[in-house]
Structure 1
Amino acid sequence: METLYFAIALLFISYGAPANADFGEDGDPGEVYFDYNRNITLNCTIPSPDKTQSYVWKKNDVGVEQIAELKGRYKMLEEGAVFSLGRSVEDDYGNYSCALGAEERAWEVRGRPVARLPDNTNVVEGQKIKLQCKVTGKPYPAVSWYYNSSATANSSQPLKEGSRDGRVKLESNEQGIEGGALVLESAARGDAGFYSCRAGASSDHTQLRVKDMYAALWPFLGICAEVFVLCAIILVYEKRRTKPELDDSDTDNHDQKKS
């Protein structure tokens, strides 16, 4: 039984819980964060003696029934007091509100930010490199960059615009997030290490490897040297093989003249 409870808890932690928002005594739950593909549930229970009144739900001041992206994905539970949105997507963020008569409730629903970088990044010395921090979780939070010389380093060095002798630049990434892309001009061997980007409470890292600019040349030179040595051996062998043949030919000619 304990093993079963542990497995259920592990699944809950791995996949996350649906975003649920209930009003407390102050009537304001603040910001609500949700994970993608999970349900968003907003509870707007308002005591009212008038049973003829109905709950009115809106997103960004537009009735939810008028928003095409929400159709077929939400349900009204408990006589309209609970709004449940299934299989949430990134664009489900926004300002949600409900009203019952003169009473109104509101939430700021936001996607939980997740930052992503490739596991490994390779560049040749002297080349320009651009690291893209992909972020999910609208509205997108600010992105910051850090550097560690090794995986065991205890301290992270923040990377700012113009650091590394002016070679570091921060640009907008493919998603349009300002500072979401780190550009490193003319990569040097000392730039190798672990680079991480942070978006809100989420962070990810990539290991940058900087290869010697002549790394591809050495194997080619080695092949050329092997070919040169092989040709020299063949040439020496052919010379040694043809010399006895010439000597035998001279001896035969001399014998023929004597006879």
Structure 2
Amino acid sequence: MSETKLTGDTFELYCDVVGNPTPEIQWWYAEINRADSFKQLWDGARKRRVSINTAYGVNRVSVLGITRLTLEDSGTYECRASNDPKRNDLRQNPATTWIRAQATISVLQSEWSMSCST
């Protein structure tokens, strides 16, 4: 779900997928108005503010968390899931082997941080 947060806040996004074999999950990010420039996120990115926790079982659940939000964290976050054995083959078109779900996070300047900086 898309959300609006304040600077300094935390958010979590959940991705729950089912498939046989169990799908791989990846998290990606694109800046606002830059949907053509997705970059993959990893655990510990953005000065250790990004955490990615994945649980395995009959289905796979992955949670993306980002702490101490900044204005630069605004954008589109995408969960990609695939169990296609050729999903990472660079000769294949990845659009045909990944299922995608997106949420937009808008980060606004908090009043508290504005009053502290003046």
When the two structures are superposed, what TM-score results if normalisation uses the length of structure 1?
Answer: 0.34
Report SS of the residue matched to 2:106: strand
Decide which structure has greater strand share.
Answer: 2
1:203 maps to 2:100: yes
* Bigger helix share: 1
Aligned pair in 2 of structure 1 residues 203, 151: CA closer, same or farther (>3 Å)?
farther
Higher gyration radius (CA): 1
* 1:155 corresponds to 2:52: no
RMSD: 2.5
The number of aligned residues is 97
Alignment CA distance shift 1:148-1:137 (3 Å):
same
Q: Distance in 1 between matches of 2:14 and 2:100?
A: 13
SS in 2 for 1:140: coil
Q: What amino acid is the match of 2:74?
A: A
Residues 96-107 of structure 1: matches in 2 within 5 Å? none
Answer yes or no: is 1:135 the counterpart of 2:17. yes
Equivalent residue for 1:187? 69
Query: Which residue number in structure 1 is paired with residue 91 of structure 2?
Result: none
Q: CA deviation at 1:163?
A: 0.8
| Residue 139 of structure 1: how far off its partner (Å) | 4.5
Q: Distance in 1 between matches of 2:105 and 2:81?
A: 20
Query: Which of 60, 79, 82 is 1:177 aligned to?
Result: 60
SS across alignment from 2:107: strand
The answer to whether residue 110 in structure 2 is matched with residue 213 in structure 1 is yes
Change (3 A) 1:124 1:153: same
Structure 2 length normalisation: TM-score? Answer: 0.70
- Partner of residue 85, structure 2: none
Describe the superposition over 1:206-235 as per-residue Cα deviations: whole angstroms up to 9, x where unpaired.
Answer: 1101122118x99xxxxxxxxxxxxxxxxx
Output the amino acid matched with 2:14: Q
